[in-house]
């Protein structure tokens, strides 16, 4: 840079914009002193005071528009770089500003470009806009590209080789659960918690070939859930930033889920038939063992030296019986007895069924309901067991004295109403690597668990035409969400 301290003249009537510009430049390593002018008089007065390194102009001044400010600057200080900060200008307006002498038009939603544009203009003082037809065509082409970048439905981004985002569009932010690109720019994928298990493979292929095409990768979203993206990326040399990665991502999570659901359904049908057969075969010997133990109790139950062995046998017999019942439930063919149910009564019934378990750990169960909830058509008994299962799991993973909540929220539209049921706790949450397989049969991290509880939950919910997902809450704890069609 020609000087360490930049003298910036900001033509804008918003002090918030002054703060935003100052912070943006500071984060980019540019030290600047900013003078704000909010009218034609104060703008002319500021131009008379000194030579400014850069002029920035907002596009929504009430008393002085960007074209008028540009005209004044071109007549008073034609060699000073002039930038327009635009909210959402039409492409024709942007082209006209560039044609008449503006050095660049920076979108307010993507201010990260401001620092690099200033550096470029100050390092190369040659005029960049001569007003020729060729340059106007180039400006129009650049504007069209920028419009395509900002409005593209696919996620478009540029980052360093280490994953620090330099630019990204709105679609990119939405894919990963952010409200705007500004929340991602200047941070690495690791800092944002987005780096997925395929990141290393993608980087190795990119460094080896210089580009990667149609690579399906797993990446985490902001809330900890897993997203599948179709990535097309290239490794480029940028004159300012050095080695950079340009990429386009398409969210293919729904397609992958559909494929996985189809494969899962076929696998589970075969597995269900198998485990049901095994459970039936094992239950007969269990009944015999139970009957023998009853006879043993009748004859020797009063003897103290036998009682500990009998109690141990009873405990293990109960555990085996519970496992066999879970296997039978999982292997049972889909069979629901639907009835119209008010969500409020279903939630109250589930909470009541867990009060005793929660009380033993001194955990409170909160119930929160939106007003005017749609009704649902469900098998009341089976869906109640589903909610009880989820609440009990949340209680088991929560610290004593904490709370677990069951929330019911409206979803969908007036034409296709839906219900969201959320069970949330304040425990340690799910391990990220476990999220994709939480609802797989026989997967569990709990000592003594069968690994069938959540698998049965998913099966019952899907039999009702619903979905179930698991994630981690931003402020800590786990969340399991059931979505059911309403009416």
Which residues, in sequence order, are bridge partners of residue 82? 55
Based on the domain organization, do 107 and 12 belong to the same domain?
Answer: yes
Report which secondary-structure segment, H or E, holds 412: strand 403-412
| Within a domain: 456 | yes
Based on the domain organization, do 317 and 237 belong to the same domain?
Answer: no
Among 479, 452, 482, which residue's Cα sits nearest to residue 464? Answer: 482
Burial bucket for residue 271 (CB in 10 Å: 0-12, 13-18, 19+): middle
Contact 186, 29 (CB under 8 A): no
Specify the pLDDT at position 242.
Answer: 82
Specify the pLDDT at position 130.
Answer: 46
Residue 456 CA to residue 388 CA, distance in Å, equals 12
Specify the pLDDT at position 16.
Answer: 86
Backbone region of residue 36 per phi and psi (left: phi > 0; alpha: psi in -120 to 50; beta: other values):
beta
> Which string of DSSP letters, residue by residue, matches 229-249?
EEEEEEEEEETTTEEEEEEEE
Based on the domain organization, do 218 and 327 belong to the same domain?
Answer: no
Based on the domain organization, do 239 and 267 belong to the same domain?
Answer: no
Based on the domain organization, do 120 and 161 belong to the same domain?
Answer: no
Based on the domain organization, do 352 and 448 belong to the same domain?
Answer: yes
Contact 260, 242 (CB under 8 A): no
Tokens of 10: 């900001």
Based on the domain organization, do 240 and 377 belong to the same domain?
Answer: no
Based on the domain organization, do 399 and 424 belong to the same domain?
Answer: yes
Domain boundary residue among 311, 331, 351?
Answer: 331
Tokens of 73: 């600057």
Residue 314 CA to residue 294 CA, distance in Å, equals 10
Contacts of 29 (CB under 8 A, 6+ apart): 115
Domain boundary residue among 305, 331, 357?
Answer: 331
In the sheet that holds 211-220, the strands lie side by side as 165-168, 155-160, 242-251, 226-238, 211-220
Specify the pLDDT at position 129.
Answer: 45
How far is residue 251 from each of residues 1, 78, 383, measured CA to CA in Å? 40, 46, 32
Tokens of 367: 């119930």
Based on the domain organization, do 201 and 276 belong to the same domain?
Answer: no
| Within a domain: 268 | yes
Based on the domain organization, do 345 and 441 belong to the same domain?
Answer: yes
Residue 30 CA to residue 2 CA, distance in Å, equals 12
What is the residue whose two structure tokens read 């729904």?
Answer: 254
| Within a domain: 267 | yes
Task: Map residue 456 onto helix, strand or coil.
Answer: helix
Residue 10 CA to residue 37 CA, distance in Å, equals 6
Q: Residue 243 sits in a domain of what CATH number? A: 3.30.450.20
Which residues, in sequence order, are bridge partners of residue 226? 220
Residue 240 CA to residue 118 CA, distance in Å, equals 12
Residue 348 CA to residue 477 CA, distance in Å, equals 23
Based on the domain organization, do 114 and 162 belong to the same domain?
Answer: no
Tokens of 354: 């867990």
Report which secondary-structure segment, H or E, holds 464: none
| Within a domain: 173 | yes
Specify the pLDDT at position 131.
Answer: 45
Report which secondary-structure segment, H or E, holds 106: strand 104-107
Tokens of 113: 């470009």
Euclidean distance between the first and the last CA atom of the chain, given in angstroms as a whole number? 64
Based on the domain organization, do 28 and 143 belong to the same domain?
Answer: yes
| Within a domain: 304 | yes
Specify the pLDDT at position 205.
Answer: 93
Among 354, 463, 343, 457, which residue's Cα sits nearest to residue 405? Answer: 354
| Within a domain: 256 | no
Q: Residue 118 sits in a domain of what CATH number? A: 3.40.50.2300
- Which residues form the domain of 279? 263-331
pTM > 0.95: no
Residue 385 CA to residue 395 CA, distance in Å, equals 15
Tokens of 229: 């993206």
Distance of CA 272 to the CA centre of its chain: 33
Number of independent structural domains in the chain: 4
| Within a domain: 362 | yes
Contact 27, 2 (CB under 8 A): no
Contacts of 423 (CB under 8 A, 6+ apart): 387, 390, 391, 394, 404, 405, 406, 479, 480, 481
pLDDT tens, per residue, the chain with 487 residues:
445 689 999 999 888 888 989 999 998 888 999 999 988 889 999 999 999 999 999 876 667 788 889 989 988 998 899 998 887 555 567 777 887 888 888 887 778 888 888 888 887 655 444 444 555 555 555 656 666 677 778 899 999 988 899 989 999 999 999 999 989 998 998 889 888 888 889 999 999 999 999 999 999 988 888 899 999 999 998 877 788 999 999 999 988 888 877 776 676 667 666 766 776 677 778 888 888 888 888 888 778 888 888 888 888 887 777 777 766 666 666 667 889 999 999 999 999 999 999 999 999 999 999 998 999 999 998 899 899 989 999 998 899 999 999 999 999 888 889 999 999 998 999 998 898 888 887 778 776 666 778 888 988 898 888 999 999 998 889 999 999 999 8
Residue 56 CA to residue 79 CA, distance in Å, equals 14
Residue 73 CA to residue 81 CA, distance in Å, equals 9
Residue 236 φ/ψ, nearest 5 degrees: -125, 165
Domain boundary residue among 102, 129, 151?
Answer: 151
| Within a domain: 257 | no
């Amino acid at each position: 840079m020609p000087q360490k301290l930049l003298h910036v003249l900001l033509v804008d009537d918003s002090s918030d914009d002054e703060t935003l510009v100052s912070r943006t430049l500071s984060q980019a390593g540019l030290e600047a002193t900013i003078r704000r002018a909010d009218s034609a008089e104060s703008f002319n007065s500021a131009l008379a005071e000194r030579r400014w390194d850069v002029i920035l102009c907002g596009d929504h001044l009430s008393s002085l528009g960007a074209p008028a400010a540009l005209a004044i600057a071109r007549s008073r200080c034609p060699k000073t770089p002039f930038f327009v900060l635009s909210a959402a200008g039409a492409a024709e307006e942007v082209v006209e500003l560039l044609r008449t002498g503006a050095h660049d038009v920076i979108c307010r939603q993507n201010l990260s470009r401001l620092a690099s544009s200033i550096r470029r203009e100050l390092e190369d003082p040659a005029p960049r806009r001569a007003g020729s037809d060729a340059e106007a065509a180039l400006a129009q082409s650049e504007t069209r590209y920028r419009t395509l970048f900002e409005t593209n439905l696919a996620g478009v981004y540029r980052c360093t080789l280490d994953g620090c985002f330099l630019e990204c569009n709105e679609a990119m932010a939405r894919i990963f659960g952010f409200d705007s690109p500004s929340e991602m720019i200047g941070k690495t994928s690791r800092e944002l918690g987005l780096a997925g298990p395929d990141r290393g493979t993608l980087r190795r292929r990119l460094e080896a070939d210089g580009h990667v095409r149609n690579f399906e990768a797993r990446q985490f979203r902001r809330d900890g859930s897993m997203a599948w993206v179709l990535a097309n990326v290239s490794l480029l040399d940028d004159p300012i930033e050095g080695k950079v990665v340009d990429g386009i991502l398409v969210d293919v999570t729904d397609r992958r889920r559909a494929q996985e659901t189809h494969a899962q359904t076929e696998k589970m049908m075969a597995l269900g038939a198998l485990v049901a057969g095994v459970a039936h075969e094992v239950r007969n010997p269990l009944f015999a063992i139970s009957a023998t133990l009853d006879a043993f109790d009748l004859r020797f139950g009063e003897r103290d030296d036998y009682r500990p062995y009998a109690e141990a046998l009873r405990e293990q017999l109960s555990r085996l019986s519970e496992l066999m019942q879970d296997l039978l439930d999982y292997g049972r063919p889909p069979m629901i007895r639907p009835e119209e149910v008010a969500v409020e009564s279903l939630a109250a019934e589930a909470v009541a069924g867990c009060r005793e378990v929660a009380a033993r750990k001194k955990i409170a169960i909160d119930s929160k309901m939106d007003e005017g909830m749609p009704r649902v058509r469900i098998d009341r008994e089976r869906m109640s067991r589903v909610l009880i299962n989820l609440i009990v799991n949340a209680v088991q993973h929560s610290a004593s004295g904490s709370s677990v909540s069951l929330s019911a929220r409206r979803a969908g539209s007036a034409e296709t109403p839906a219900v969201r049921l959320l069970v949330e706790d304040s425990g340690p949450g799910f391990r990220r690597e476990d999220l994709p397989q939480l609802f797989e049969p026989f997967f569990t991290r709990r000592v003594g668990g069968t690994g069938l509880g959540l698998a049965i939950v998913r099966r019952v919910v899907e039999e009702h035409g619903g979905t179930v997902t698991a994630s981690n809450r931003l402020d800590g704890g786990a969340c399991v969400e059931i979505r059911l069609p309403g009416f």
